[in-house]
């Protein structure tokens, strides 16, 4: 192990005396004190009584409260014999809690997502040959066969020995009684094959080579540094950071790769296995509890050397992390909005710093946050200027829907229809992109104008025609399409308004009945197996026309796809979101990047009602730098992120008045001063969500002002009743 290795048993300060603090994975503000007769080092997993139950927690750092009389303390009831939680992970838990203003116990819960892992798997019994046969022991021909089998001194399972030697299992017991063989524990089977860093990777192009060398050097330094790795889609960023992973493995350290949509990453996993000769360990919400437990232990024991995961993988117990890669770092999927509200990209940088690890953020369309950090020198920057193998960037053109509109009730304009027809006629693949699931985003009564709304949310119900239902995409509410308008009673009066992918599929089926079509949306591609099957069908040219939502934008490599049509390029620009332009640019640039990945050039058509919009113009020119510079110029004067800090407070209650009252009180108690501004209270973007009324306040400060102390002081001034929830979101996205 290297200099950053943490052997918890040797490095930990031993808590002397009879008191320890134990942090429990519950939303508690701080650790509780317990008594103990043993010496328990911080990080040790322990079981303690809690009320009438018991709970498993972690011996935590810091001084116990000496004031409490010893007689009032309850005792630790069990100490687990598993690797202790490392000092780095404990500091990370405390850091995330302090930054997000979450109870440390709520953060600890993410690091203890598999309590069953604390019970070691029962060791398997087997047999080995005695070093010397006792004098006088009878060696029958059958016994001799067993002795020969065990001659190498290895431990073997009884069943295996009996089968290989062709003897009855009962024979072994007799041999043991005679002292010829001894019971022994079987070596535990490796759960995770080791990726092989010595396998040669592909020959890198000169720019890739230089970037790979810089990343290798960063990993070899064994010190924290963050690098932003950019380059157009298909420029070979993945191959480059694979070299950083290889370097971490050669240094004997672990590597963590965060992917935004692990369930859709089958192509990535195939490439990893081809490069390293073994699959990485995986971490995401769909693992079975048994796999979770095995993976957790394999990470803790250092057996899993490369782990690929969703954001929660940041809280795994790596003893010696040498590298963290965040691929597609601009993705909003890295933001967790429930429970502890945190951004995994930002916390990855923190975890790398605490671990003395290199951190690599990769994207073809980096966030303005990371771009700015690279410009100010906080991050190193590496750029791959061209597609690997000389493939050209796709040719992006705009279709002005005001000049060449689709036919009435249709959504594909004549230029797009012609382009798809030509592509299919050449035997190439085409893709239609629309970031909307279902058939139609709204249902309207022709007679009275009534719109079908979710009863629990400020949202329209989306028609899913294939399933014959209307559905809320926020709370999951489902109802049957109405026979008659629920408002005016007119029979069969409702009509769908606007398109979803199902409706585009319907139109495509009429236009190109011969084309083999595939819809890729989160409801048609529910998991990794379906994603892998879809990707294979496209690669094997069993599909001519792909129709998809944002899941088709994610990192796929489809060699025969030469046309991408964006049905509604303006879709993401509506609303008052600070990052609407940035996000739309990122998403559409990524979608466009699916076209023309190999020899044949790609074409992209963007249908828009606002072709003059800067986002559309940037997509056509492909000039990311100019677009990001314009975004920066727009945000800098108002101290909007990343040039200032932002935190949101969301107040919610089932009763609107209750939420309003607390929001108003918060507004009255708002902090002020130079460089501090409070916006609101105002209805939150989803003013009603799952039956709760939501009000929002935004705290905006200059960059050199920390928001956490301000927020703590502010929130302490208001004491909301029990039916009102107050949530804090530091660095909110999507507002």
In the complex, the residues that contact Zn ion under the rule CB under 5 A are 454, 456-457, 472, 474-475, 477
Give 50's contacts (C-beta < 8 A, 6+ positions apart).
Answer: 24, 32
In 573-613, which ranges are continuous DSSP H helix? 580-592
Q: Does 83 bind ligand ADP (CB under 6 A)?
A: no
Q: Does 202 bind ligand ADP (CB under 6 A)?
A: yes
Question: Could you tell me which of 113, 104, 114 has the C-alpha nearest to residue 340?
Answer: 104
Question: Could you tell me which of 427, 404, 426 has the C-alpha nearest to residue 416?
Answer: 404
Stretch that binds ligand ADP, among 230-238, 449-457, 579-587, 702-710 (CB under 6 A): 230-238
Taking the complex as a whole, how short is the minimal distance between the CB of residue 482 and Zn ion, in angstroms?
A: 17
Judged by CB under 6 A, the number of residues near ligand ADP is: 15
| CB 296, CB 316: distance < 8 Å | yes
User: Alpha-carbon distance 13 to 152, whole Å?
Assistant: 43
The item of Zn ion, ligand ADP, none sharing an interface with residue 349, based on CB under 5 to 8 Å by kind, is: none
> Of 267 and 423, which CB lies nearer to ligand ADP in the complex structure?
267
Burial class (CB in 10 A: 0-12, 13-18, 19+), 582: buried
Residue from 8, 104, 126, 236 binding ligand ADP (CB under 6 A) = 236
Taking the complex as a whole, how short is the minimal distance between the CB of residue 237 and ligand ADP, in angstroms?
A: 3
The item of Zn ion, ligand ADP, none sharing an interface with residue 309, based on CB under 5 to 8 Å by kind, is: none
> Of 239 and 502, which CB lies nearer to ligand ADP in the complex structure?
239
> Of 233 and 652, which CB lies nearer to ligand ADP in the complex structure?
233
Taking the complex as a whole, how short is the minimal distance between the CB of residue 362 and ligand ADP, in angstroms?
A: 7
> Of 158 and 236, which CB lies nearer to ligand ADP in the complex structure?
236
Binding pattern for the stretch 542-561 against ligand ADP, x by CB under 6 A and - elsewhere: ---------------x----
> Of 22 and 472, which CB lies nearer to Zn ion in the complex structure?
472
Residue 12 φ/ψ, nearest 5 degrees: -80, 140
> Of 110 and 324, which CB lies nearer to ligand ADP in the complex structure?
324
Q: Does 238 bind ligand ADP (CB under 6 A)?
A: yes
Coil, strand or helix at 248: helix
The item of Zn ion, ligand ADP, none sharing an interface with residue 472, based on CB under 5 to 8 Å by kind, is: Zn ion
Question: Could you tell me which of 614, 621, 605 has the C-alpha nearest to residue 413?
Answer: 605
Is 485 annotated as contributing to ligand binding? yes
Question: Could you tell me which of 308, 294, 314, 204 has the C-alpha nearest to residue 266?
Answer: 308
Q: Does 234 bind ligand ADP (CB under 6 A)?
A: yes
Burial class (CB in 10 A: 0-12, 13-18, 19+), 14: exposed
Coil, strand or helix at 105: helix
Q: Does 227 bind ligand ADP (CB under 6 A)?
A: no
Stretch that binds ligand ADP, among 69-77, 227-235, 448-456, 533-541 (CB under 6 A): 227-235
Q: Does 205 bind ligand ADP (CB under 6 A)?
A: yes
> Of 364 and 472, which CB lies nearer to ligand ADP in the complex structure?
364
How many CB atoms lie under 10 A from the CB of residue 100?
Answer: 23
User: Alpha-carbon distance 482 to 494, whole Å?
Assistant: 8
Q: Does 266 bind ligand ADP (CB under 6 A)?
A: no
Question: Could you tell me which of 57, 58, 43, 60 has the C-alpha nearest to residue 8?
Answer: 43
The item of Zn ion, ligand ADP, none sharing an interface with residue 202, based on CB under 5 to 8 Å by kind, is: ligand ADP
Stretch that binds ligand ADP, among 6-14, 83-91, 204-212, 609-617 (CB under 6 A): 204-212
Our CA angle for 626, 705, 728, nearest 5°, is 90
Stretch that binds ligand ADP, among 92-100, 133-141, 196-204, 575-583 (CB under 6 A): 196-204
Residue from 15, 96, 171, 204 binding ligand ADP (CB under 6 A) = 204
The item of ligand ADP, Zn ion, none sharing an interface with residue 454, based on CB under 5 to 8 Å by kind, is: Zn ion
The count of C-alpha atoms lying within 13 angstroms of the C-alpha of 254, restricted to the half-sphere facing its C-beta, is 28
User: Alpha-carbon distance 150 to 156, whole Å?
Assistant: 8
The item of ligand ADP, Zn ion, none sharing an interface with residue 281, based on CB under 5 to 8 Å by kind, is: none
User: Alpha-carbon distance 682 to 595, whole Å?
Assistant: 42
Residue from 102, 227, 235, 265 binding ligand ADP (CB under 6 A) = 235
The count of C-alpha atoms lying within 13 angstroms of the C-alpha of 578, restricted to the half-sphere facing its C-beta, is 22
The item of ligand ADP, Zn ion, none sharing an interface with residue 499, based on CB under 5 to 8 Å by kind, is: none
> Of 49 and 691, which CB lies nearer to Zn ion in the complex structure?
691
CA 293 to each of CA 6, 283, 290, 316: distance values in angstroms, whole numbers, following the listed order: 21, 11, 5, 11
Give 385's contacts (C-beta < 8 A, 6+ positions apart).
Answer: 207, 231, 232, 235
**Cα 509 to chain center, whole Å?**
35
Q: Does 233 bind ligand ADP (CB under 6 A)?
A: yes
Is 359 annotated as contributing to ligand binding? no
Residue from 104, 231, 498, 548 binding ligand ADP (CB under 6 A) = 231
**Cα 512 to chain center, whole Å?**
37
| CB 281, CB 298: distance < 8 Å | yes
Taking the complex as a whole, how short is the minimal distance between the CB of residue 246 and ligand ADP, in angstroms?
A: 14
Taking the complex as a whole, how short is the minimal distance between the CB of residue 314 and ligand ADP, in angstroms?
A: 22
Taking the complex as a whole, how short is the minimal distance between the CB of residue 392 and ligand ADP, in angstroms?
A: 13
Residue from 21, 275, 388, 450 binding ligand ADP (CB under 6 A) = 388
| CB 520, CB 561: distance < 8 Å | no
Taking the complex as a whole, how short is the minimal distance between the CB of residue 484 and Zn ion, in angstroms?
A: 22
| CB 699, CB 711: distance < 8 Å | yes
User: Alpha-carbon distance 164 to 158, whole Å?
Assistant: 10
> Of 442 and 532, which CB lies nearer to Zn ion in the complex structure?
442
Question: Could you tell me which of 307, 310, 323 has the C-alpha nearest to residue 355?
Answer: 323
In 379-432, which ranges are continuous DSSP H helix? 414-425
Taking the complex as a whole, how short is the minimal distance between the CB of residue 297 and ligand ADP, in angstroms?
A: 32
Q: Residue 100: beta bridge partners?
A: none
Question: Could you tell me which of 381, 448, 368, 418 has the C-alpha nearest to residue 632?
Answer: 368
Is 448 annotated as contributing to ligand binding? yes
Q: Does 729 bind ligand ADP (CB under 6 A)?
A: no
Task: List residues near ligand ADP by CB under 6 A.
Answer: 202-205, 208, 231, 233-239, 388, 557
The binding site for Zn(2+) comprises 445, 448, 454, 457, 472, 475, 485, 488
Residues placed in the known binding site: 445, 448, 454, 457, 472, 475, 485, 488
């Amino acid at each position: 192990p290297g200099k950053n290795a943490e052997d918890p048993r040797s490095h930990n300060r031993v808590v002397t005396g009879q008191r320890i603090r134990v942090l429990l994975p519950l939303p508690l503000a701080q650790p509780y004190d317990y008594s103990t007769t043993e010496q328990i080092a911080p990080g040790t997993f322990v079981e303690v009584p809690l009320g009438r139950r018991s709970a498993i927690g972690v011996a935590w750092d810091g001084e116990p409260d000496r004031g409490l009389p010893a007689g009032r303390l309850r005792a630790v009831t069990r100490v687990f014999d598993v690797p202790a939680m490392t000092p780095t992970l404990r500091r990370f838990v405390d850091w995330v809690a302090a930054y997000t203003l979450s109870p440390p116990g709520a953060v600890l819960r993410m690091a203890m997502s598999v309590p069953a892992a604390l019970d070691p798997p029962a060791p398997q019994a087997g047999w080995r040959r005695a070093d010397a046969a006792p004098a006088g022991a009878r060696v029958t021909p059958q016994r001799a066969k067993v002795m020969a089998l065990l001659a190498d001194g290895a431990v073997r399972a009884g069943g295996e020995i009996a089968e290989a030697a062709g003897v009855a299992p009962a024979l072994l017991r007799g041999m043991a009684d005679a002292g010829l063989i001894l019971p022994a524990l079987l070596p535990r089977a490796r759960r995770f094959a080791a990726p092989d860093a010595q396998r040669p990777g592909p020959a890198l192009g000169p720019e890739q080579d230089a970037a790979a060398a810089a990343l290798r050097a960063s990993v070899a330094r064994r010190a924290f540094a963050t690098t932003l790795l950019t380059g157009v889609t298909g420029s070979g960023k993945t191959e480059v950071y694979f070299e950083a992973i290889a370097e971490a493995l050669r240094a004997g350290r672990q590597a963590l790769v965060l992917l935004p949509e692990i369930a859709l990453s089958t192509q990535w996993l195939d490439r990893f296995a081809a490069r390293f000769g073994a699959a990485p360990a995986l971490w995401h919400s769909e693992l079975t509890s048994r796999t979770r437990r095995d993976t957790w232990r394999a990470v803790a024991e250092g057996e899993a050397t490369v782990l690929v995961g969703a954001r929660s993988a940041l809280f795994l117990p790596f003893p010696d992390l040498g590298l963290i890669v965040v691929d597609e770092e601009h993705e909003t999927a890295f933001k967790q909005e429930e429970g502890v509200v945190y951004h995994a990209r930002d916390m990855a940088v923190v975890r790398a710093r605490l671990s003395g690890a290199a951190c690599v953020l990769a994207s073809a369309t980096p966030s303005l946050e990371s771009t700015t950090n690279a410009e100010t020198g906080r991050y190193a920057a590496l750029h791959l200027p061209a597609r690997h193998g000389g493939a050209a960037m796709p040719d992006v053109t705009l279709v002005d829907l005001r000049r060449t509109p689709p036919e009435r009730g249709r959504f594909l304009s004549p230029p797009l229809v012609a382009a798809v027809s030509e592509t299919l006629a050449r035997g190439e693949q085409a893709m239609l992109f629309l970031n909307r699931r279902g058939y139609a985003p709204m249902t309207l009564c022709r007679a009275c104008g009534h719109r079908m709304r979710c009863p629990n949310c400020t949202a329209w119900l989306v028609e899913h025609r294939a399933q014959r239902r209307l559905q809320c995409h926020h709370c999951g509410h489902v109802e049957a399409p109405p026979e008659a308008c629920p408002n005016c009673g007119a029979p069969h009066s409702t009509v769908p308004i606007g398109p979803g992918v199902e409706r585009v599929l319907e139109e495509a089926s009429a236009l190109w009945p011969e084309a083999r079509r595939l819809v890729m949306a989160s409801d048609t591609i529910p998991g990794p197996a379906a994603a892998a099957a879809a990707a294979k069908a496209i690669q094997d040219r069993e599909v001519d026309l792909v129709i998809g939502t944002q899941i088709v934008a994610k990192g796929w490599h489809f060699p025969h796809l030469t046309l991408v049509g964006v049905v509604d390029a303006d879709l993401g620009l509506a609303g008052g979101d600070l990052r609407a332009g940035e996000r739309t640019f990122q998403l559409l640039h990524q979608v466009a990047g699916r076209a023309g990945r190999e020899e044949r050039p790609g074409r992209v058509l963007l249908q828009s009602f606002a072709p003059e919009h800067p986002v559309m113009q940037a997509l056509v020119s492909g000039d990311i730098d100019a677009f990001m510079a314009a975004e920066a110029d727009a945000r800098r004067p108002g101290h909007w992120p990343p040039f200032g800090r932002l935190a949101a407070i969301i107040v919610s209650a089932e009763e609107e008045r209750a939420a309003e009252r607390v929001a108003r009180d918060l507004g009255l108690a708002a902090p002020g001063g130079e460089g501090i501004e409070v916006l609101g209270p105002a209805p939150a973007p989803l003013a009603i969500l799952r039956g709760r009324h939501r009000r929002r306040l935004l705290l905006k400060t200059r960059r050199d002002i920390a928001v956490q102390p301000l927020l703590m002081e502010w929130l302490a001034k208001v004491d909301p009743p029990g039916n009102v929830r107050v949530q804090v979101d530091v660095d909110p996205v999507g507002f």
